[in-house]
Structure 1
Amino acid sequence: MYHKSFYAFGTAGKPVPAVVRRYREEDIDELIDIQSECFPPPFPSELWWNKEQLGNHVRLFPEGAICIEVDGKLAGSITGLLVGFDPGEPDHSWADVTDNGYIRTHKPDGDTLYIVDISVRPSFRKWGLGKHLMQSMYELVIERKLARLLGGGRMSGYHRMADRMSAEQYLQAVVAGELQDPVITFLLRCGRTPLGVVKDYLDDEESLNYAALMEWKNPFYGR
């Protein structure tokens, strides 16, 4: 059973006890509430987690169903599944890889941990909780001796720049530090690196359906 205790630091700078653990059936209602807070309109509400999806996460791959509590309050979650990945054929959609979030595509012998979703309540942003959640998945990659962690990052600021640059140019500008993107910049700070842009990845007006495919390679893989 995965359980990690530490102190989180909020905006006031005061240390607060926090725990990263697997989420359970009894957490499902609150996890759906977190989704609604994290992805308000125009993000489609039908893409929020539902009870069947979350039940599958707990049942099919509990190691990849992780949440974080701060002072006893559920503050965020991250979800993954195992897949096979061919770097020579990177194009895919979120729906195809994740089975629309139901993760029945989970492959126990897969070499890649694919991130389905990461969410942190807005009231807990700037606490560094997203990095702790991502770190828990890096630990899983190492524990399971996988090749990599992978996932598509929403380019949520792209819609503001789409009349001036392509999605590929936007990603390059974010990596160069010329632009800041709420999602891609966060993933870069977590140690993820971009493999390229995937079109028609997710129904997302802010990203114009594009995503940056972002990787973290296991530094111990093959050693």
Structure 2
Amino acid sequence: MAYRSEFYVLDGDRPVPVTIRNYSKADFQQLIDIQAECFPPPFPSDLWWNEEQLSNHVALFPDGALCIEVEGVLAGSLTGLIVGFDPSHPKHTWEEITDSGYIRNHSFQGNTLYIVDISVRPKFRKLGLGKLMMQAMYQVVINLGLDRLLGGGRMPGYHKYAHEMSAEDYLQQLIDGKKKDPVITFLLRCGRTPLSVAENYLEDEESLNYGVLMEWKNPFKL
């Protein structure tokens, strides 16, 4: 089912028109450009989207391929797939569960919408677009009757503290509000709940390859 939502956000005191919609082939080059802006070196450039991955997103699960425009300018994207997930056996890597971003393992028989990636151009981040896209994906979870939304968040602030604490202790300090992390704190603001720290989750120098599995449970599922 096609997704399209039009509304306003405030840029200071000025309302600006915003649209969340499914992305398409016409958006591919802009989506790749957004990835380059959002994940500059030392993040590996080979982990940015390529056209084959994006083609799979719109062909295999268009409901999970969302983007956001601000005054007609493409400002960010959020991508997901459906997988089967057992909370009692949560261990996995980003590459395993997302098919390295190609999502050929997407299955409508799954119970979980898994977030592959979220990206917002830096100059638009003050508008809260990431949270708005995440809320739109929660609506997809409800519409499809899935159990949860799940994803692994990077911990880009962890490298600053790795010499003095474990990844688990760093996460706890974020939950306690003693520290802030650009990604994990954002996900907490979006209503995501940490499940566990995942070692060797993603090749990411700033996170020392750690991630945090974070979920949002469908409130209409018992």
**Per the shorter chain, which TM-score range?**
over 0.9
Q: Which residue of 1 aligns with 2:176?
A: 176
Tell whether 2:60 aligns with 1:60. yes
After TM superposition, the structure 1 = structure 2 runs for residues 185-204 of structure 1, keeping only pairs within 5 Å, are 185-204=185-204
Q: Which residue of 2 aligns with 1:4?
A: 5
Tell whether 2:152 aligns with 1:138. no
Q: In structure 2, what residue type is equivalent to 1:45?
A: S
Distance 1:9 1:96 in 2: 39
Q: Which residue of 2 aligns with 1:50?
A: 50
Q: Displacement, 1:13?
A: 2.7
Q: In structure 2, what residue type is equivalent to 1:2?
A: Y
Secondary structure, aligned partner of 1:107: coil
Secondary structure, aligned partner of 1:100: helix
Distance 1:13 1:70 in 2: 15
Secondary structure, aligned partner of 1:126: helix
Aligned pair count reads 221
Q: In structure 1, what residue type is equivalent to 2:195?
A: L
Distance 2:123 2:13 in 1: 15
Q: Which residue of 1 aligns with 2:127?
A: 127
Distance 1:43 1:149 in 2: 25
Q: Which runs of 4 or more aligned residues in structure 1 lie more than 4 Å from their structure 2 counterparts after TM superposition?
A: none
Deviations along 1:150-206, one digit per CA (max 9) or x if unpaired, are 000001100000000000000000000000000000000000000010000000000
> Which consecutive unaligned segments of at least 5 residues does structure 2 have?
none
Tell whether 2:20 aligns with 1:20. yes
Q: Which residue of 2 aligns with 1:81?
A: 81
> Which consecutive unaligned segments of at least 5 residues does structure 1 have?
none
Q: In structure 2, what residue type is equivalent to 1:180?
A: K
Q: Which residue of 2 aligns with 1:69?
A: 69
Distance 2:172 2:139 in 1: 28
Q: Displacement, 1:111?
A: 0.5
Deviations along 1:127-151, one digit per CA (max 9) or x if unpaired, are 0100110001100011011100000
Secondary structure, aligned partner of 2:101: coil
Q: Displacement, 1:117?
A: 0.2
Q: Which residue of 1 aligns with 2:39?
A: 39
Q: Displacement, 1:8?
A: 1.7
Distance 2:68 2:39 in 1: 18
Q: Once the two structures are aligned, what percentage of the paired residues are identical? A: 65
Q: Displacement, 1:126?
A: 1.2
Q: Displacement, 1:106?
A: 0.4
Q: In structure 1, what residue type is equivalent to 2:179?
A: L
After TM superposition, the structure 1 = structure 2 runs for residues 148-159 of structure 1, keeping only pairs within 5 Å, are 148-159=148-159
Distance 1:87 1:56 in 2: 27
Secondary structure, aligned partner of 1:159: helix
- TM-score, normalised via structure 2 length: 0.99
Distance 1:116 1:124 in 2: 21
Distance 2:181 2:123 in 1: 19
Secondary structure, aligned partner of 1:116: strand
Q: Which residue of 2 aligns with 1:214?
A: 214
Distance 2:154 2:7 in 1: 29
- TM-score, normalised via structure 1 length: 0.98
Distance 2:164 2:7 in 1: 44
